[in-house]
Structure 1
């Protein structure tokens, strides 16, 4: 692995940590907060190579598990993985990996294509892993947990939209510095 790859992974891990300093939106009817850290995983998947995206998010979760209060609201420690949001957190690396793998298949990256991929991966993968885990931790039915999670969809779609535009702009800016940033991926 090249030094540049390691620096990019460290930078994205730091971005994930910084997003944790933005206070969460707490809802009275569900213990899973609304945070901006899902935007960080979208950016990791959109900007890093698949292996980098996976390692970056695993590294972030290991730092959190070690006790660093980097999750939104100052949460950290191994206990957060055994709470209602644990399944969502554990799905972060998988979602970032799938986004990056999917984007590597594209010849041209557009904001609309990114939005679709981000929405499918953030809502699909995170919810597929997070909702059953939340149901188990809260001792409720999966259907009840799914209904509780409906409130997050508009926010996740907004984050997907903003991150898709931001990712295209970053890829464009980086392509001026280095043409082969992502196996020939280019934004239009």
Structure 2
């Protein structure tokens, strides 16, 4: 495969992942009521970007998505977009998404976790759930004046759904990797 065709293939993957994250935003967020941050499905696409594309291209995909949101396109769950979402109570969660592919991608490479479903799940939990929740809680507490302990307790509502998203993300991406390996083998 030539350099140009390899580059085109990578850019196509980046564009498809960005599109997938946008599509996940069509599912409306579920308001919780006691904190101003909804439960959304888009963070699953952010996790998948790091798993499938790795740190560099996953970062590019998520950056593209967030730049489109910053430009005012209503691509976040609930049709939100524009600069105001980056200073809203949920901004810590959204901004942390930028780093999720970097964390997941580098940890997967470092631990060669593609061989173990459990290790890959743990890595996605660390990068896609714990990291996001820590930054999200810190920002939520600062932005709203909510005590940090209360913000932390409130964010526990996200954990069951996030764990389901981790399991789906790892399962789907591992199947994609298997199918890609079979197709590459057949083409050789």
User: TM-score, length-normalised on structure 2?
Assistant: 0.91
Question: Take 2:165 and 2:114, find their aligned partners in 1: how far apart are those partners?
Answer: 21
Query: What aligned pairs does 1:12-23 form with structure 2 within 5 A after superposition?
Result: 12-23=17-28
Per the alignment, residue 50 of structure 1 pairs with: 55
Equivalent in 123, 147, 164 of residue 158 of structure 1: 164
Equivalent in 20, 35, 40 of residue 35 of structure 1: 40
Question: Take 1:108 and 1:91, find their aligned partners in 2: how far apart are those partners?
Answer: 24
**Preserved CA contact (<8 Å) 1:103 1:109:** no
Question: Take 2:114 and 2:65, find their aligned partners in 1: how far apart are those partners?
Answer: 29
**Preserved CA contact (<8 Å) 1:53 1:93:** no
User: TM-score, length-normalised on structure 1?
Assistant: 0.91
Aligned to 1:24, what secondary structure does the other structure show?
coil
Question: Take 1:125 and 1:108, find their aligned partners in 2: how far apart are those partners?
Answer: 21
Higher strand share: 1
Query: What aligned pairs does 1:1-188 form with structure 2 within 5 A after superposition?
Result: 2-105=7-110, 106=112, 108-178=114-184
**Structure (1 or 2) with the larger CA radius of gyration:** 2
Aligned residues: 179
Question: Unpaired runs of 5+ in structure 1?
Answer: 180-188
